[in-house]
Amino acid sequence: MNQNDTHSVGIPIPTGQGAFILVLAILIAGLIAFFIGGFLVIAYAVEYATYIYTGFVISFVLMYVTKGNSRFINFLFYLGCLALATRLFTNVIELFENVDYVTFIMRDTDGLGVIIKYGIIYIIYATIIPLLLMKVITAIVRKTNLKSNNKNSTLNV
């Protein structure tokens, strides 16, 4: 059978410039969907704020009990910090927009540019703030426990 069969029923695969444009369009659509999804995550964080605060406190207590030495508990504490930071991201939006978060979400004048802007800000914010918060609090807990262990030492070294 000839490979150049003209009666072939298949999906034509674009090559060259057509493939580049197709890949670029898929990437842009994916980014837009990601940023819109980010707004949904923030909206759910506002809705479930009580659970987020409770989860943060529980993860902090677990991290404090393990003295910051358990990787798994520290990871749970990081997730608690991430959830708390996501919940508090609404304050960043309120600071930049000078309106409360509900008004910001409900107004119709904002377009795709605003979604992309706050999506990029959220990515940077969610990358830095929770990790920094976890590292600082864990370091304080470790240092506090180290001092209390030295006071309880019978060797006084």
Mean pLDDT over 48-68 rounds to 93
Round the average pLDDT of the chain to a whole number and report it. Answer: 82
Least confident of 2-16, 51-65, 99-113, 141-155: 2-16
Higher pLDDT, 120 or 6: 120
The answer to whether 74 and 134 have CB atoms below 8 angstroms apart is yes
Whether residue 152 is predicted with pLDDT greater than 80 in this model: the reply is no
pLDDT at residue 157 in the model: 47
Q: Which residues, 6 or more positions from 152, have their beta carbon under 8 angstroms from its beta carbon?
A: none
pLDDT at residue 17 in the model: 72
pLDDT at residue 83 in the model: 93
Other CB atoms within a 10 A radius of the CB of residue 151 amount to: 7
Q: What is the 3-state secondary structure (H, E, C) of the chain?
A: CCCCCCCCCCCCCCCCHHHHHHHHHHHHHHHHHHHHHHHHHHHHHHHCHHHHHHHHHHHHHHHHHCCCCCHHHHHHHHHHHHHHHHHHHHHHHHHHHCCCHHHHHHCCCCCHHHHHHHHHHHHHHHHHHHHHHHHHHHHHHHHHHHHHHHHCCCCCC
- What pLDDT digit, counting tens, does each position of 66-90 carry? 998 999 999 999 999 999 999 999 9
Whether residue 22 is predicted with pLDDT greater than 70 in this model: the reply is yes
pLDDT at residue 51 in the model: 95
C-alpha triplet 64, 125, 101: angle, nearest 5°: 100
What is the reported pTM? 0.71
pLDDT at residue 8 in the model: 57
Mean pLDDT over 16-31 rounds to 78
